[in-house]
Chains A and B, each alone.
Chain A
């Protein structure tokens, strides 16, 4: 199941004070807090781990058709490895284990679950059209037959023509950025 999360780092710095008393304790386990505090760039790692939790939240919500909820500590980040410009790790939610990949820019983090076929990051409002164009190109199908729909839980997918085939994708917006992640497996 697919999930993604984008963070505009300039905006999140203005919106959140991660050094606030109690902030890290509400979002992160003891182990995650230790990882953050011992890292070279604690601020980046706060938002990296947060984006991992958010991406997997979207994936499990889709997988189990869950109602919305807010419990960041149920998502446990492990084996986080950071390299220049990217990061990898796993996030456990109950019995599920998700591999995640992130790309790190100076002004943005984008995290996707491991089954992502391709992702698209956009700074303009035409990102929906770009998403559909890219899918049309990849699948060799006409653009006109593609539409974005949502199911009853509000989970989005791309449908095409009168066909029942649905292409799952995950969408995230924050500040100046939008990002889509498109799944490998059709469902």
Chain B
């Protein structure tokens, strides 16, 4: 799967939980789910569950711990897809 497609999929997943839509305009790997998009911390788990469903992977607690930015999520998805 291409990097661009992964980023596009993450953007689609996170959009309904985004409370600061301006953050989506300049969506890139540095985009921080909580700081830039103002995703509620309880909704981060929904982002993680949606990512699991979309990519058919399992994100363990250890991976989840560092999933703060779009780039973090992309790296975890790539790792899990590669080892699947």
Q: Chain A interface (Cβ within 8 Å of chain B)? A: 12, 15-17, 20-23, 26-27, 50, 54, 68-74, 174
Contacts and interface: CB of A to CB of B under 8 A. Distances in A.
A27 B65 CA distance: 12
Contact of B46 (A16, A68, A174): A16
B44 A70 contact: yes
Given A20-B46, A26-B45, A71 B64 contact: yes
B68 A26 contact: no
Contact of B42 (A50, A68, A71, A73): A50
Interface residues of B, number: 18
Interface of B: 17, 34, 40-46, 48-49, 52, 61, 64-68
A120 B48 CA distance: 33
Contact of B49 (A23, A50, A68): A23
A71 B45 contact: no
15 contacts: A12-B40, A15-B17, A21-B49, A22-B52, A23-B46, A26-B45, A27-B45, A50-B42, A68-B68, A69-B65, A70-B41, A70-B64, A70-B66, A71-B65, A74-B61
A68 B45 CA distance: 15
Contacts of A72: 45
Interface of B: prevailing SS: helix
* Chain A CB within 10 A, most for which of B17, B41, B42, B44: B42
A83 to B, nearest CB: 25
Nearest to B58: A22
A70 B48 CA distance: 11
Contact of B68 (A16, A50, A54, A70): A70
A22 B41 contact: no
Contacts of A23: 45-46, 49
Contacts of B42: 12, 15-16, 27, 50
Contacts of B34: 68
B69 to A, nearest CB: 10
A26 B45 CA distance: 7
A20 B52 CA distance: 13
